[in-house]
Amino acid sequence: MTKLLKIENLHARIKGGRDILNGISLDIGAGEVHAIMGPNGAGKSTLSCVLAAKPGYEVTAGRILYDGEDIADLPADERARRGIFLAFQYPVEIPGVNNTYFLRTSLNATRRQRGEPELDGVQFLKLVKQKLSLLDIKDDLLKRAVNVGFSGGEKKRNEIFQMAMLEPRLALLDETDSGLDIDALRAVSDGVNKLRADSRAIVMITHYQRLLDYIEPDFVHVLANGRIVASGDKSFARELEKTGYAHLEHAA
Amino acid sequence: MSTSVRATEPAWLSARRMAAQARFNAQGLPTPNDESWRFTTLRALTPPAALGAARITLNAPALPEGVRFTTLSSLLAQAPGHLAGLLTLPEAADGFAALNMALFQDGFVLEIPPGVHLTEPLEVIYDPTGGAVHTRGLVLLGEGASAILVEHAIGGGWSNHVTHIALAKGARLRHAKRQAQPAGSVHLSATTITLGEGADHESVILALGAAISREAVNAVLAGEQARFSLRGAYVLGASQEASFVPDLLHLAPNCTSRQLVKGVLGGQAHGVFLGHIGVPEGADGTDASQTNRNLLLTEGAHIDTRPRLEILADDVKCSHGATVGDLDDAALFYLQSRGIPPLAARHMLVEAFAAEILDEADLPAPLRAALHGTLSAKVEALS
């Protein structure tokens, strides 16, 4: 069966700089939850930026196959409409753009791509209510401008809410646990767990073991110096907690 | 539809017109040496020799007794002496104002007696055509009166509007203006506003159309506790030019003023912001702010911005600032990462930037929505 995401010998860099990713290979299947861990500067965020096609990054070698197709030439918005979702480490504040309006535009763009009819205002609000109750989020976030004046926890929750609305096939969670207190971490993790599905792959990129106590991965990978230096199942994460990354970095 | 006022005009007015014409002949049009005109493309502003038709339409709900909302031509016909004290040319008037006094063809008058509150908008539609058109507006609110006035400038050609607004003690005016004249036209506007004690004025001005437009707003906060607000936006493409020239005088102590003017410039467009706030000696407790923010969408667009404060009082709170920038790349990527195509994402951000002046404007919701619609359409047309 074709893997949902197949990364082959990926080299990438910030335009004009030196390579940050030095040959990553990774297979991620639908229904799986992967954790990519590693020290600061290992290339974790670069990997998520490259997968989401953030401008300013370039692939210098290797391929990214999504559903069997090389997506090198697809811009960010096209990848998003095809089901790749990036939950930002630092969600961006957009003054003057109402959260509801933004989300409806986003959802309808995605639905058009899938060949589904656009949702009108009433249908959209019905779906919003359903997803809000699933994630136990209050609806006042929706009346405000996108992320403006949100606390750190609210921003991360809003990311997961967007994920629930857009129903991606591949969700990349970039340091979703950073800056969260224990209650917010629990709420966000509960949300992610509810969004686990056989048709969906979730990739958590994180510095800390802590997140994995709340969202249990099927596979754990260590990224160091731009390469995957070790992989294992969920017990591997606990092992890492004791041994740290340092000995693996040397192995790379 | 109005007719020219000339046929029926009283002798005092003819005399003032002649004096104004003499003054214009001596003074001429402004030159680049005049501070408030230095960045405006003056050579394109020479009025055509022939006069055009003003074509002013007024729309209003049923009005209570004592409220006067009429064209200038019909008022001059009905009550020729009524405006003698008001249709004057101020000492400091420039050449365009002198020309307006000498030649104005029509205009409107809104007079509201003390204590009368009008909650539905009163509309003035300017649809000038032909050659040079000069119009004159007079808005007089009695003590504690309130109203909402909306001006739409939609016609073509060359037009020069002079408006005077006087708010008595405690009066409150909400004023919106939508300038959406066709490409190639010229729109000059000079509005003077005097605010009595506790009077409260807000102008929301959208400069979207015309080849060249200029909005001069001259406000004098003459009574204590008066409050003035200007929320303006110019959204320009091609080789359009718009100037905003607000000049505030905080004459009385303890007055408040807020100004937010935002510009979006595409193509080869040119924006001008020349702001001035004067706080003379004794105007303690003044609280004034003036901000001009600009978004430049192309290499060819440019902006001249100069907010200026002149403070001679001791105990004041004043701030001013100007910014010029491009769209936020992080915000663009965020929208695109949610499936929104690049062009739509740009529209969303540009519209949000300009619409800030409407979002917090104190206007009835349907009026705000209508202005928002015009603004969105213009943003869409820029790319």
pLDDT of residue A251: 55
CB atoms within 10 A of CB A243: 10
Distances (CA, A) of B132 to A94, B49, B74, B368: 44, 7, 21, 31
Residue B339 with chain A: CB contacts under 8 Å: 77, 80-81, 106, 109-110, 113, 166
- Which of B336, B342, B348 is facing A97, going by the closest CB pair? B348
Report the residue of chain A nearest B347, measured CA to CA.
Answer: A97
Residue at token pair 């050659």: B131
User: Per residue in A146-189, pLDDT tens?
Assistant: 999 999 989 999 999 999 999 999 999 999 988 889 988 999 99
pLDDT of residue A143: 87
Q: Is residue B359 part of a domain?
A: no
B277: domain range?
5-327
- Which of B339, B348, B359 is facing A110, going by the closest CB pair? B339
Instruction: Give the Cα separation of B104 and B17 in Å (integer).
Output: 9
Farthest-apart Cα atoms in chain A, separation: 57
Distances (CA, A) of B262 to A107, B95, B100, B226, B254: 30, 28, 29, 24, 27
CB contact under 8 A, B340 and A166: no
Q: State which amino acid sits at residue B177.
A: K
ipTM of the complex: 0.96
- Which of A81, A94, A95 is facing B339, going by the closest CB pair? A81
Nearest-Cα distance to chain A for B256, in Å, is: 25
CB contact under 8 A, B338 and A166: yes
pLDDT of residue B5: 53
Q: State which amino acid sits at residue B33.
A: N
User: What total number of domains does chain B contain?
Assistant: 1
Query: Could you write out the three-class secondary structure of chain B?
Result: CCCCCHHHCCHHHHHHHHHHHHHHHHHCCCCCCCHHHCCCCHHHHCCCCCECECCEEEECCCCCCCCEEEEHHHHHHHCCCCCCCCCCCCCCCCHHHHHHHHHCCEEEEEEECCCCECCCCEEEEECCECCEEEEEEEEEECCCCEEEEEEEECCCCEEEEEEEEEECCCCEEEEEEEECCCCCCEEEEEEEEEECCCCEEEEEEEECCCCEEEEEEEEEECCCCCEEEEEEEEEECCCCEEEEEEEEEECCCCCEEEEEEEEEECCCCEEEEEEEEEECCCCCCCEEEEEEEEEECCCCCEEEEEEEEEECCCCCEEEEEEEEECCCHHHHHHHHCCCCCHHHHHHHHHHHHHHHHHHCCCCCHHHHHHHHHHHHHHHHHHC
Residue B340 with chain A: CB contacts under 8 Å: 77, 102, 105-106, 109
Residue A234, pLDDT above cutoff 90: no
Residue B345 with chain A: CB contacts under 8 Å: 77
Q: Is residue B186 part of a domain?
A: yes
Q: Answer for the pair B56, B124: CB distance below 8 angstroms, yes or no.
A: yes
Q: What is the pTM of this model?
A: 0.90
Residue B359 with chain A: CB contacts under 8 Å: 96
pLDDT of residue B6: 63
Q: Answer for the pair A186, A160: CB distance below 8 angstroms, yes or no.
A: no
Rama region for B217: left / alpha / beta (φ>0; ψ in -120 to 50; rest): beta
Nearest-Cα distance to chain A for B338, in Å, is: 6
Distances (CA, A) of A163 to A17, A103, A119, B207, B223: 32, 10, 17, 40, 55
- Using a CB–CB cutoff of 8 Å, tell me whether B342 touches chain A: yes
Considering only CA atoms, which of A86, A92, A91 is closest in space to residue A172? A86
Distances (CA, A) of B301 to A124, A154, B211, B374, B378: 39, 38, 14, 22, 16
Residue A75 with chain B: CB contacts under 8 Å: 336, 342
Residues of chain B with pLDDT under 70: 1-8
- Using a CB–CB cutoff of 8 Å, tell me whether B337 touches chain A: yes
- Using a CB–CB cutoff of 8 Å, tell me whether B326 touches chain A: no
Nearest-Cα distance to chain A for B332, in Å, is: 9
Q: Is residue B381 part of a domain?
A: no
Residue A77 with chain B: CB contacts under 8 Å: 336-337, 339-342, 345
Q: Answer for the pair A124, A91: CB distance below 8 angstroms, yes or no.
A: no
Instruction: Give the Cα separation of B96 and B27 in Å (integer).
Output: 10
Q: Answer for the pair B132, B53: CB distance below 8 angstroms, yes or no.
A: no
Q: Is residue B352 part of a domain?
A: no
Residue B335 with chain A: CB contacts under 8 Å: 94, 97, 102, 106
Q: What long-range pairs does A226-230 form, CB within 8 A, spacing at least 24?
A: A226/A11, A226/A19, A226/A20, A226/A21, A226/A22, A226/A23, A226/A24, A226/A42, A226/A43, A226/A46, A227/A21, A227/A22, A227/A23, A227/A24, A227/A252, A228/A24, A228/A25, A228/A26, A228/A36
Instruction: Give the Cα separation of B58 and B77 in Å (integer).
Output: 17
- Which of A54, A55, A162 is facing B338, going by the closest CB pair? A162
Rounded mean pLDDT, A212-234: 93
Q: Is B195 exposed, middle or buried (0-12, 13-18, 19+ CB in 10 A)?
A: buried
pLDDT higher for A242 or B346?
B346
Q: Answer for the pair B95, B29: CB distance below 8 angstroms, yes or no.
A: yes
Nearest-Cα distance to chain B for A154, in Å, is: 17
Q: Is residue B28 part of a domain?
A: yes
Residue A95 with chain B: CB contacts under 8 Å: 352, 356
CB atoms within 10 A of CB A236: 18
Report the residue of chain B nearest A84, measured CA to CA.
Answer: B337
Which residue of B327, B337, B343 to mutate against A (max A Cβ within 10 Å)?
B337
Q: Is residue B119 part of a domain?
A: yes
Residue B341 with chain A: CB contacts under 8 Å: 77, 109
How does DSSP assign chain A, residue by residue? ---SEEEEEEEEEETTS-EEEEEEEEEE-TT-EEEEE--TTSSHHHHHHHHTT-TTEEEEEEEEEETTEE-TT--HHHHHHTTEEEE-SSPPPEEEEEHHHHHHHHHHHHHHHHTPPPP-HHHHHHHHHHHHHHHT--THHHHSEETTT--HHHHHHHHHHHHHHH--SEEEEESTTTT--HHHHHHHHHHHHHT--TT-EEEEEES-THHHHHS--SEEEEEETTEEEEEE-HHHHHHHHHH-SHHHHHH-
pLDDT of residue B3: 40
Rounded mean pLDDT, A28-47: 93
Sign of CA dihedral A14, A19, A20, A23: positive
Please, what is the average pLDDT of chain A?
92
Which residue of B293, B332, B336 to mutate against A (max A Cβ within 10 Å)?
B336
pLDDT of residue B2: 38
Residue A57 with chain B: CB contacts under 8 Å: none
Q: Is residue B156 part of a domain?
A: yes
CB atoms within 10 A of CB B85: 7
Q: Is residue B73 part of a domain?
A: yes
